Chain A
């Protein structure tokens, strides 16, 4: 595709519910990243996928967070039993691989009420 696509753009959910956020990377990009950004803050690394290698999950804040990448393309970030502190913009990015420019989607704004 032309760029990284994320859905939904905005999601309001009740505390305790599960949410799924989707990312379609740029076609051909082998690397995929998820970041989280709270209001007025910097980007917090969550998880990184590179090709068929085991993902780097070192940034996931708790076991309520998980992500998968099917067929080396689309990725889904799942947050179980959402909490109010999970409210943030979740940004996905992709690149041709390590040491290359990464391209961001517009993000999914999650609000937990």
Chain B
């Protein structure tokens, strides 16, 4: 079963707009990670946020984590057409293995 669920399933925006994706999970975690996938192949790690952190930044990416609500959000600011991809959150569910959510498909139009 999936540990994480992303919302929305799909998102379409114009270049320059911000994109926000949300992830909810079910069990306690040690950390939460966000990944990007182009064209259904390998995933690329974007950012890791630990359970004792509330917010983290990396370039145009901003991730927040609310452990009381078991949710995280990924914000991409000033989006570009090249940001078009699927984005997944993944949690360790307190174990050693990483469980992925269902993903958000982001389309950025020029």
Q: Which residues of A are in contact with B by a Cβ distance under 8 Å?
A: 4, 31, 33, 35, 37, 39-43, 45, 48, 50, 56, 89, 91, 93, 98-99, 101-107
Which bucket holds chain B's interface residue count? 20 to 34
Residue of A nearest to B4 (CB): A42
**B42 lies within 8 A of A107 (CB):** yes
A89-B41, A107-B42 given; A41·B96 CB < 8 A:
no
Residue pairs across A and B with CB atoms within 8 Å: the count is 56
**B40 lies within 8 A of A104 (CB):** no
Chain B 38-60 interface residues, beta-carbon cutoff 8 Å to A: 40-45, 48
Contact of B96 among A31, A35, A40, A43 (CB under 8 A): A31
By a CB distance below 8 angstroms, the chain B residues around A31 are 96
Q: Of B40, B48, B92, B101, which is in contact with the most chain A CB atoms at under 10 Å from its CB? A: B40
Contact of B92 among A50, A99, A103 (CB under 8 A): A99
By a CB distance below 8 angstroms, the chain B residues around A103 are 45
Chain B 71-109 interface residues, beta-carbon cutoff 8 Å to A: 88, 90, 92, 95-103
**B102 lies within 8 A of A91 (CB):** no
**B45 lies within 8 A of A37 (CB):** no
5 shortest interchain CB distances as A-B pairs? A43-B100, A42-B102, A98-B96, A104-B42, A106-B42
